[in-house]
Amino acid sequence: MSEILDIPEVVGLQSRSDVIRIPPDLDVPLTGRVRHLVDTAEFRRLVHISQLGLVSLVFPAAHHSRFEHSLGVYRTMLLYLQRLAHVPEFAAVIETKDAELMIVASLLHDLGHWPFCHPIEDMRLPGVPQHELFANSFLLEGEIADCLRDDWGINPRDVVSFLSEKGRTSKMKLMQSIISGPIDVDKLDYLQRDSLHAGVPYGRNFDQQRLIASLCVNQAGDKLALTNKGRTAAEMMVFARYVMFSEVYWHHAVRSATAMLQRAFFMLRPQLELDSLFRLAERPMVDTMLEAAGNGPARDLLDGLFGRSRRLYKRLFEYSHFDHPELFHQIARRPYDWLVDLSDQFATTLSRHLSRRVAPHEILIDAPPVKLEVQFNIDVLQQKSGKYRALGDVSPMVETLAKRQFDDYVKKVRIFIHPRLEESIGSDLEIESLFVDTVRSMFPETG
């Protein structure tokens, strides 16, 4: 038997002596050294950072914290290790200290998150850190660093490397692929957890136990893979992810809120001290931004999101790659300031046609960001032949989701307007051609 099975946290899955409970009725094994970590100030900071941020403006129960999610990821890691300890290719290279590093990393992987982290990162503005790097300050000093050294015998710098640097050895790559890859412990937890709290069935619709039962190692020994028994379970997970994006993460009202926050942040950025801002809990961060906004236009945007009553921007129109391929590619994956320029231009155009002033921030253009979400390149081991093949090769449906449906159908371009403008605008047909003209004017060389 692999010595991994003797690690106290893994043993806790069976002995069940000391646990903390999180939905859906899951027992998370605790040991003294895990309890120390989760009671530190740096870790408890995650209690006040919600997992889904603005999504709760649309799915009102989606208030769950990154604290809860981190416990879920840690538990999933224990389940993965329990299975992989029985996979010879894994057990042969992963020692107790490696597995313990993975356990600690699973618990701490979101330490660098700040409120509304994803929408802010998606803008790719200069001066905004990556949350993986932002975590280092919490990891390298303070209680967590002490606890890692004293309770776990782990050098905090190893956790930092593990979480934010690309591994150089096969073993390190294999270990990292379990925490960040197509079927990593993070996704397994967040799909289910986000879905549960949002009150929708979408992200729980896969066969987690079959997926775990089929975990193995790829041919090169540097990545998690699946046996063919798990192929369908992997398809289900890819599909669940697609549905969550389609119905929750890229829900039109969620995107409206996201566009509002991004524009406000963009306007306020020069006045904000990001390093301290990102250390705040959700509400204090909002308060800081409100203060910076004064009575300027960003105030109006923030009030609609965080003020006394909810007031989201309305969809003027939207389209996918499928509807307008050319227009889609002219806008998708552009730098954020280009989108702001475009919306400014469009506001000017609208002002002219509506014979009323349309302020620049009353028009928001939301488009697919640079970062692609899709990662399906996992290998599937055909147990009878011993050959490995890419999931996309043995599943046309995954290939289709990955190559076409995900980034081209789900992620739409949307133009949002301030609700007060809604009545001023009559038929939307003319609007669409006005928008096409405005976009064209941004590409003078091709005109």
User: Which residues ranging from 3 to 22 are in contact with a copy of itself (CB under 8 A)?
Assistant: 5-6, 11, 14-17, 19-22
Locate 121 and state its tokens: 């990162």
Residue 447 neighbours by CB distance under 10 Å? 8
> E-strand spans in 173-305?
215-217, 224-227
Q: Pick the closer one to a copy of itself by CB: 68 or 366.
A: 68
What span, in angstroms and rounded, lies between the C-alpha atoms of 410 and 369? 12
Q: Pick the closer one to a copy of itself by CB: 20 or 125.
A: 20
Taking the complex as a whole, the smallest distance from the CB of residue 371 to a copy of itself amounts, in Å, to: 22
Does residue 149 interact with a copy of itself by CB under 8 A? no
Which amino acid appears at position 98 of this protein?
D
Q: Of the candidates 41, 92, 133, 370, which one interacts with a copy of itself according to CB under 8 A?
A: 41
Helix (H, G, I), strand (E, B) or coil at 370: coil
Taking the complex as a whole, the smallest distance from the CB of residue 439 to a copy of itself amounts, in Å, to: 21
Name the burial class of residue 233, with classes exposed (0-12), middle (13-18) and buried (19+) by CB atoms within 10 angstroms of its CB: buried
Locate 29 and state its tokens: 């094994």
Rounded to 10 degrees, the C-alpha dihedral 223/224/229/234 comes to: -110
Q: Pick the closer one to a copy of itself by CB: 75 or 334.
A: 75
How are the residues of the chain apportioned to helix, strand and coil, as percentages rounded to the nearest 5? 60, 10, 30
Does residue 141 interact with a copy of itself by CB under 8 A? no
Site string for a copy of itself, 246-265 (x = CB under 8 A): xx------------------
Taking the complex as a whole, the smallest distance from the CB of residue 336 to a copy of itself amounts, in Å, to: 28
Site string for a copy of itself, 221-240 (x = CB under 8 A): -----------x--xx--x-
Q: Pick the closer one to a copy of itself by CB: 5 or 442.
A: 5
Query: What does R_g of the chain's alpha carbons equal in angstroms?
Result: 24
Q: Pick the closer one to a copy of itself by CB: 93 or 236.
A: 236
Site string for a copy of itself, 296-325 (x = CB under 8 A): ------------xxx-----------x---
